[in-house]
Chain A
């Protein structure tokens, strides 16, 4: 009977394609929108995830997310270093500074000032030069995408593409000369500004004068010390906030979820995809069942139980669900592959596939529900009605 169910389903090519299309469209839209949403949210904390060495982030208690910098007094660094269980603690400058380009244009950059002695907090991957090159006079490391796009030099001749910034080039940060000593690869940030790494002392020199300039303190727990307990101890001893890197990521995401319209916008797209998919698949599936009602009636008359006919309908729904889901997910993956390396944030987590699968199961249940109700009420005597 299972085979008959599938033959009935695939026998009507137009309806079969219609149902598959509805589910595939829903899968594609749900997966794609959720992947872009996750991609965007990942970008909000990319600074934290790129700083893999930092186990603990110490911040001003009022800080709400990674870009919400509330500078600390320099003395706080010493207090954190004095907390029992801290293996090391280093300063980190993070701020938005204006860079003057060779073309004369200005570009706001995300400047990261690393501890002069250890250079902890450096970029995750170097494309040209080494992190140690930051010790050279006026040295800065520029991220690859920024060097190629917003910080690029004007073209040699009009009409030609801009020339990427390379090692040895100079730029001005807040009217002070900086020399590019390396090119790095970093995760894209939410605001998409170029990222420039330099030392902490040089970053302070580049930055406008302020009473406090220490953005964050990065710390690591001694071996055997629980980082969560150490965070609590730092907070108790210093009056600052301390987060494990993962918690700081969640805090940042929570801020964006709570205070921006991003989740609502993407949520609406996901819900829309779900509703449109359900409507298309449901209506086509119901029509398919209606057209086959006489056949189902004949099967009932010939001795097929209501349950076995329901199984046939559920199998048909499951089959179109699987095929539609596969096509939708495949298209979403192709979309992600095609947009890789562009400004578009796209991160297709395995969990998203699970969520989409659940949505498709729900679509199939809703789509087949009307058909199931119709078949349950179906009198086999319908076969004798002309």
Chain B
């Protein structure tokens, strides 16, 4: 029980096959993986190896065909759709490769979206969103729309949005792939510094080898399976983070 309480996600023998017409593509073929609370786990591997499918299953936005996936002890597959949606809203934060910010909303409003979905009053949601924008270093951009922000700044808004409702699991899909080296490094440092605490787990799917040193563990996937998991001491977050990213 002690071990279970330290585990954020437990995947056992996860299988997922996509069917398009008569074509069947096995994306996951018996994945065994544990994600510990308080760690940054990176999922790496060639394109099409099943990384994105696996985090989709972990985040509860895709049902596996077979196997057991428990997030903080909860079996998502056993939940009703509405329960799963609610669980996701309360416990999972997302950082997408393409940011997926709503273009008509300001940075502050975008960051407040998860709270608004949970039914938090608008004024309170915006106040908390502003706090997180400050935390990610762009308080002055609160009233700016995404189109007027640089890629790095947009990703910072996305990080603020992923954190604003204090989720226990954050899943990130290629958060640095659209960013230049310096900005990408700062974003990953920011994620480590701001997102990780003793109870929160961070799972990042990435191809970007330059950010590998920031992970606690790196799980290498191939052909729908976890090939091996490497444990390491993560790189310390640099002090440069205190300064906001250049636009």
| Contacting pair A299 B52 (CB below 8 A) | no
User: Within 8 Å of chain A (Cβ to Cβ): is B98?
Assistant: yes
Known contacts: A302-B113, A303-B88, A303-B117. The answer to whether A380 contacts B61 by CB under 8 A is yes
| Contacting pair B102 A381 (CB below 8 A) | no
User: Within 8 Å of chain B (Cβ to Cβ): is A383?
Assistant: yes
User: Within 8 Å of chain A (Cβ to Cβ): is B114?
Assistant: yes
Partner among B85, B122, B174 whose Cβ is within 8 Å of the Cβ of A304: B85
Nearest A residue to B86, CB-CB: A303
| Contacting pair B85 A300 (CB below 8 A) | yes
| Contacting pair B100 A303 (CB below 8 A) | no
User: Within 8 Å of chain B (Cβ to Cβ): is A298?
Assistant: yes
Interface hits, B68-121 → A, CB 8 Å: 82, 85-86, 88-90, 92, 94, 96-98, 100, 102-105, 109, 113-114, 116-118
Q: In the bound complex, what is the Cα–Cα distance between A299 and B113 (angstroms)?
A: 8
Partner among A7, A10, A302 whose Cβ is within 8 Å of the Cβ of B94: A302
**Given the complex, which residues of A lie within 8 Å of B190, measured CB to CB?**
none
Q: How many residues of A contact B (CB 8 A)?
A: 27
**Given the complex, which residues of B lie within 8 Å of A295, measured CB to CB?**
100, 102
User: Within 8 Å of chain A (Cβ to Cβ): is B55?
Assistant: yes
Partner among A294, A308, A383 whose Cβ is within 8 Å of the Cβ of B117: A308
**Given the complex, which residues of A lie within 8 Å of B82, measured CB to CB?**
305
User: Within 8 Å of chain B (Cβ to Cβ): is A105?
Assistant: no
User: Within 8 Å of chain A (Cβ to Cβ): is B149?
Assistant: no
Q: In the bound complex, what is the Cα–Cα distance between A345 and B85 (angstroms)?
A: 58
Q: In the bound complex, what is the Cα–Cα distance between A329 and B109 (angstroms)?
A: 35
User: Within 8 Å of chain B (Cβ to Cβ): is A301?
Assistant: yes
User: Within 8 Å of chain A (Cβ to Cβ): is B28?
Assistant: no
| Contacting pair B114 A302 (CB below 8 A) | yes
User: Chain A: interface secondary structure?
Assistant: helix
Known contacts: A298-B94, A381-B62, A384-B56. The answer to whether A304 contacts B109 by CB under 8 A is no
Interface size class of B (residues with CB under 8 A): 20 to 34
Interface hits, A1-29 → B, CB 8 Å: 1, 3-4, 7-8, 10-12
Q: In the bound complex, what is the Cα–Cα distance between A11 and B116 (angstroms)?
A: 19
**Given the complex, which residues of A lie within 8 Å of B92, measured CB to CB?**
303
Number of A-B residue pairs at CB separation under 8 A: 81
**Given the complex, which residues of B lie within 8 Å of A351, measured CB to CB?**
none
Interface hits, B124-141 → A, CB 8 Å: none
User: Within 8 Å of chain A (Cβ to Cβ): is B173?
Assistant: yes
Q: In the bound complex, what is the Cα–Cα distance between A84 and B122 (angstroms)?
A: 76
User: Within 8 Å of chain B (Cβ to Cβ): is A386?
Assistant: yes
User: Within 8 Å of chain B (Cβ to Cβ): is A169?
Assistant: no
**Given the complex, which residues of A lie within 8 Å of B104, measured CB to CB?**
7-8, 10-12
Q: In the bound complex, what is the Cα–Cα distance between A269 and B82 (angstroms)?
A: 46
Q: In the bound complex, what is the Cα–Cα distance between A304 and B89 (angstroms)?
A: 7
**Given the complex, which residues of B lie within 8 Å of A229, measured CB to CB?**
none
Q: B-facing mask of A361-386, CB < 8 A → 1, else 0?
A: 00000000000000000011101111
Q: In the bound complex, what is the Cα–Cα distance between A356 and B92 (angstroms)?
A: 46
Q: In the bound complex, what is the Cα–Cα distance between A297 and B173 (angstroms)?
A: 15
**Given the complex, which residues of A lie within 8 Å of B56, measured CB to CB?**
381, 384
**Given the complex, which residues of A lie within 8 Å of B109, measured CB to CB?**
4, 7
Partner among A298, A299, A379 whose Cβ is within 8 Å of the Cβ of B62: A379
Partner among A1, A10, A297 whose Cβ is within 8 Å of the Cβ of B116: A1
Partner among A294, A297, A302, A386 whose Cβ is within 8 Å of the Cβ of B88: A302
Given contacts A11-B103, A383-B61, 17 further A-B contacts (CB under 8 A): A4-B113, A11-B105, A295-B100, A295-B102, A298-B94, A298-B96, A298-B100, A302-B89, A302-B114, A302-B161, A303-B90, A304-B89, A305-B82, A381-B56, A381-B61, A383-B94, A384-B52
Q: Can you pick out 27 interface pairs between chain A and chain B where the beta carbons lie within 8 Å of each other? A: A1-B117, A4-B109, A4-B113, A4-B116, A7-B102, A11-B102, A11-B104, A294-B100, A295-B100, A298-B96, A298-B100, A300-B85, A302-B89, A303-B86, A303-B90, A303-B92, A304-B89, A305-B85, A379-B61, A379-B62, A380-B61, A381-B61, A384-B55, A384-B61, A384-B96, A384-B97, A386-B97
Chain A residues engaging chain B, CB cutoff 8 angstroms: 1, 3-4, 7-8, 10-12, 294-295, 297-305, 308, 379-381, 383-386
